[in-house]
Amino acid sequence: MPCKVIITRDYDNVSEVAARYVANDIRRVLAEREEYVMGLATGMSPSGMYKDLAKTANSGAFDSSRIRSFNLDEYIGLPGENPQQRALHPESYSFFMIQELFGLLQKKFRKTNVPWGCLIDQDKFIAELKASPGDWEEQGRDKGRSIVIHPDAKSEYLRWVRREIQDAYEAKIKRMGGIDLHVVGVGGRGHVGFHEAGIPFKDSRMLLVKLDDNTVQNAVTDGHFQRVEDSPRYAVSMGAELIYEARTVLLVAMGKRKSEPVATSLAEDPTDAVPISYGQIYSQRGGEMLYVIDREAAAGVYEQMDAIKARGVVIEDVSSGVAARRVEDLKFFRNSETGLMG
C-alpha cells in the first residue's frame, strides 16, 4: 500500500484535515465493531487536531465512549512524592492529554492508557542500574540510548520494570486487538515518541530511554522545569516496531524544523538515524501510512519531489486551495473497493 503525503497550508489546515480523516476512520470502524483503538502522541503538532476531533465528537458525529486509547510515551522521574503526584505534574503526558483531548470530550473515552512511567521511582531505578550492571545493556548511538533489561535480571526491581511497565503495556495493546490508528508527530531529529535517533529498529517494542544531557538542560531552558534536578532523566516509550503495527499511522508535522526529517524519511532508505523512516518499511508491508503536513514542513518534499515520487509515495498538494475546498473532498486512502478512504 503506498505512503501518501497531503500538503496543506498551515497549522489549522493540518489539524482540520487530520481530524477529519480520524473521524471518518472512527465512524467506519464503529459501524463494524463495538470499539475503536487509538494510539496518541503528545506535543503541539497533534494538539490542534485533538481539539478539532473533540468538537467533532461533541457534535455527535461519532460515539467517543466506544474508544480506547494508548499513548506513546511518558517521563520517568517527574517531580512528586508518589505516582499520583507524578502523573498529575503539569509536565506529565497524562496531564497534557487531559488538557488537550480527554477533558474536552463530553462523552469520555471508554479507557485511556498512558505508559506507566510514573510508577517507577527514578532514584531507585538508577541505583539498581548501578548496582546490577550485568542485568542490562545500553543500545544506540548519537543521542539515542535505550536501556535493555535482560529477562533473567537478578535485580527484582529491574525485572519488575521490564515485566510490569514495558511488557504489560504491550500485552494490553495486544489484548485489545491492536491499534486501529496511531497519531504520531516528529521531532527535529526525526524521532517518534522517545524512539530517538540512533536507537535500533530491531526489537524496539517498549523502550526505556536515557535522555541525553542536552535534552535535560533544554527542558529547563524552555521553562518546563525549574532546575536540572527536577528534569526527568529517563522515559518509557513505544518504539518504532510497536508504533508501526497499527493498521494506520497518521503523521502530522508543521514548521521548518520538521522539513529535513520529513523529506529524509520519504526520499532515502530507512535508517534508525531517522526513526520515522520506519514508515517506509511499514507501508511496504501493507500498512496505511499518511503524512499530513504544512507547506513549511514540506519544504524538503518540494525539493526532492521527483525522488520521493519515484519511491512510490503519493503526494497531494492542496495548500493553495484547501481553504476553499471542503475537507471531506480531499482524496484520502479508503474506498469501498481498495479499503482506502475517498
pLDDT higher than 60, residue 148: yes
pLDDT higher than 80, residue 222: no
Across the beta sheet with 206-210, the strand order is: 73-76, 234-238, 206-210, 146-149, 136-139
What is the structure's pLDDT at 216?
83
Lowest mean pLDDT segment, chosen from 122-136, 174-188, 227-241, 317-331: 317-331
What is the structure's pLDDT at 327?
53
| 330 pLDDT tier (thresholds 50, 70, 90) | low
Average pLDDT for 33-55: 97
Work out the mean pLDDT of the chain and round it to a whole number.
92
Contacts of 165 (CB under 8 A, 6+ apart): 115, 116, 117, 119, 120, 206, 236
Place of cell 468538537: 55
d(CA 250, CA 243): 11
What is the structure's pLDDT at 323?
46
Domain boundaries, the chain: 4-115+174-197+239-329
What is the structure's pLDDT at 322?
47
What is the structure's pLDDT at 331?
55
DSSP string, 20-38: HHHHHHHHHHHTTSS-EEE
pTM of the model: 0.92
| 326 pLDDT tier (thresholds 50, 70, 90) | low
Q: Which fold has domain 4-115+174-197+239-329?
A: Rossmann fold (3.40.50)
